[in-house]
Structure 1
Amino acid sequence: MLMRWMCALALCLALPAQAAQLKIDLGHGVTILTTDQLLHRADARSVTIPGDVAYQRTMHYRAVPLRALLPGLAPDDHLRFAASDGFSAEIPASAILNRKGSQAWLAVEATTAPWPALPGNTRSAGPFYVVWTHPQAAHIGSEQWPYQLASIRRMNGVDARFPAIVPGASVPKDSPVRRGFAVFKRTCFACHTLNGEGDATLGPDLNLPYNPTEYLRADLLRAFIRNPQSLHRWPGAKMHGFPTQASLSDADLDAVLDYLRYMAKHKAAH
């Protein structure tokens, strides 16, 4: 029995690591792509990413133009990028189809050449990671760099799917609340739900049972969003802050707080 177990173990160790799979659903059936398929595509190339969002330094990847993997995508389409850790990025198709300035790439981690572990993490950003060249040209934020990616799916926009997070019709179009809602969808909603709605499972709900504006002073909440460790020293924390104007301006941060204060008065029934 021992010899049989040792032979089985040796066989397992001799086998190559299993290729990871990415699921893409654009509404006409699910396509499954493996790391090997992607790495052997004719349009795969090496890209250099200065100031990589996940690794916080310059990184080099083998990658495929993301728009090439999404045939039939229209500029007004909306995509959800779901990660294996519960992160859920909402990215408009127009940003991916853009051919001027920034460009989205799907970086692919080879099983024979794994990427390093993420800072403060035991896992890498692989097996799939959306990276951008010249992201500033299209105002691409840090939440639009989903890593540990598992699936891409075309869906209705956030407002249609989750009406309980949308400000009421009486809120003026130029209101700071609506600006804050737009920023919230781009940043906070990738990790959190609100009023029990949303796809992300990484962070807690931001309105039920209590909204953070109800239990944190405004200055502490601003400091927490900029640097979560400023409020709670926790080496294992998963929340990344927005420390710079480039990732979240003071005006956008103030608008998010306006939106959260508004939603604190508009809780969903629970």
Structure 2
Amino acid sequence: MTSLLRRLSLLALCLALPVHAADLKIDLGHGVRTYDTTQLLARDDARTISIPDDVAFKRAMRYRAVPLKALLDGSSAQDALLFVATDGFAAEIPAALIRQAHGAEAWLAIEEPAHPWPALADGKGDAGPFYVVWTDPSSMKIGPEQWPYQLAAIRKLPPVAERFPGIRPDPALKPDGMVQQGFAVFQRTCFACHTLNGQGDARLGPDLNIPHNPTEYLRGDLLRAYIRDPQSLRQWPQARMPGFDRQALSDGDMDALLAYLRHMSGRKIHSKQ
């Protein structure tokens, strides 16, 4: 009995312990810098900020946070930055959105060990230890995929066409045509979760061209409905794909995205990446 009580006491103590400090690694091409929770919370530029309509929690939230651009010394506005989460999500965000923001401002929210954030809905776990949040996001049309949570690392990237040639449309197409526009939309909205032709950094969702492109097995109206609200086509409580309303993805962007996907269905490359 004594042994059982001791084990139960230890279990209760473990459950009562606060969240442990965590590390964030940033590599901008000059060596990896590591910031831990304690260092970040102790910075002079740490602030308490309010987010009225938080993307992850779907309600108003308050965070201790530091301006993200303050952590990106050594980057330029021309750089592409990859934000890698522990759950396999990988969001590419132009450094210009963060460094030269006019209106919207990116912040690195830091989960305080003594005050952990609530769990996310639908069994998605915890948003911590780090989460990119934005003040006034509508002023620069910041999309939901540009709010990466469970953040573990940030690194500078070469241009996407150099890294993943298999996702590029036919270079003979007009640069300002619908397919090329859709390619830009794909990179902004889909590439954070999906690969295409086996290429990409994300591992959260299925590949969008191998073995079959969604335009090959879904009617156009059903595919549009699925992108707007995945649960409208397949009710699956554990599904992790968010819906893209017209504020996040306009009808014009939707048309361009589907044009790109249809085009890529004829450009399958079986990559081993």
What TM-score does the superposition give when structure 2 sets the normalisation length?
0.93
Q: Which moved more, 1:99-108 or 1:82-91?
A: 99-108
Shift of 1:269: 3.7
Q: Is 1:231 the equivalent of 2:233?
A: yes
Shift of 1:16: 5.4
For residue 178 of structure 2, what is the aligned residue in structure 1? 176
Shift of 1:34: 1.0
User: For residues 74-98 of structure 1, what are the alpha-carbon distances to aligned partners after superposition, in whole Å with 9 as ceiling and x for unaligned?
Assistant: 1111100001111100001100102
Q: 1:174 to 1:107 in 2, by over 3 A?
A: same
Q: Is 1:267 the equivalent of 2:261?
A: no
Q: Which amino acid aligns with 1:67?
A: K
For residue 186 of structure 1, what is the aligned residue in structure 2? 188
For residue 77 of structure 1, what is the aligned residue in structure 2? 79
SS of alignment partner, residue 106 of structure 1: strand
For residue 59 of structure 1, what is the aligned residue in structure 2? 61
**Number of residues of Structure 1 aligned to a counterpart in Structure 2:** 269
Shift of 1:173: 1.2
For residue 109 of structure 2, what is the aligned residue in structure 1? 107
For residue 253 of structure 1, what is the aligned residue in structure 2? 254
| Partner Cα distance (2:171, 2:122) in 1 | 43
| Partner Cα distance (1:158, 1:99) in 2 | 22
SS of alignment partner, residue 53 of structure 2: coil
| Partner Cα distance (1:52, 1:184) in 2 | 23
User: For residues 121-152 of structure 1, what are the alpha-carbon distances to aligned partners after superposition, in whole Å with 9 as ceiling and x for unaligned?
Assistant: 25221110000111122221111110010100
Percent of pairs identical after alignment?
A: 58
For residue 25 of structure 1, what is the aligned residue in structure 2? 27
SS of alignment partner, residue 23 of structure 1: strand
**Structure 2 regions of 5+ residues with no counterpart?**
none
Q: 1:269 to 1:123 in 2, by over 3 A?
A: closer
| Partner Cα distance (1:109, 1:17) in 2 | 8
Aligned equivalent of 2:166, options 159, 164, 179: 164
Q: 1:36 to 1:161 in 2, by over 3 A?
A: same
Aligned equivalent of 2:204, options 195, 202, 205: 202
| Partner Cα distance (1:122, 1:102) in 2 | 27
Q: 1:2 to 1:258 in 2, by over 3 A?
A: same
User: For residues 138-177 of structure 1, what are the alpha-carbon distances to aligned partners after superposition, in whole Å with 9 as ceiling and x for unaligned?
Assistant: 2211111100101000111222210110111111012110
| Partner Cα distance (2:195, 2:59) in 1 | 30
Shift of 1:56: 1.4
| Partner Cα distance (1:115, 1:245) in 2 | 29
| Partner Cα distance (1:152, 1:12) in 2 | 34
SS of alignment partner, residue 195 of structure 2: coil
Q: Which amino acid aligns with 2:109?
A: A
Q: Which amino acid aligns with 1:118?
A: L
For residue 124 of structure 1, what is the aligned residue in structure 2? 126
Q: CA RMSD in A?
A: 2.0
SS of alignment partner, residue 123 of structure 2: coil
Shift of 1:17: 4.0
User: For residues 172-212 of structure 1, what are the alpha-carbon distances to aligned partners after superposition, in whole Å with 9 as ceiling and x for unaligned?
Assistant: 01211011110000000000000010000000000000000
User: For residues 188-239 of structure 1, what are the alpha-carbon distances to aligned partners after superposition, in whole Å with 9 as ceiling and x for unaligned?
Assistant: 0000000010000000000000000000000000000001111111111111
**Structure 1 regions of 5+ residues with no counterpart?**
none
Q: Which amino acid aligns with 2:164?
A: F
Q: 1:228 to 1:136 in 2, by over 3 A?
A: same
Q: Which amino acid aligns with 1:252?
A: D
Q: Which amino acid aligns with 2:234?
A: H
Q: Which amino acid aligns with 2:31?
A: G
Q: Which amino acid aligns with 1:230?
A: S
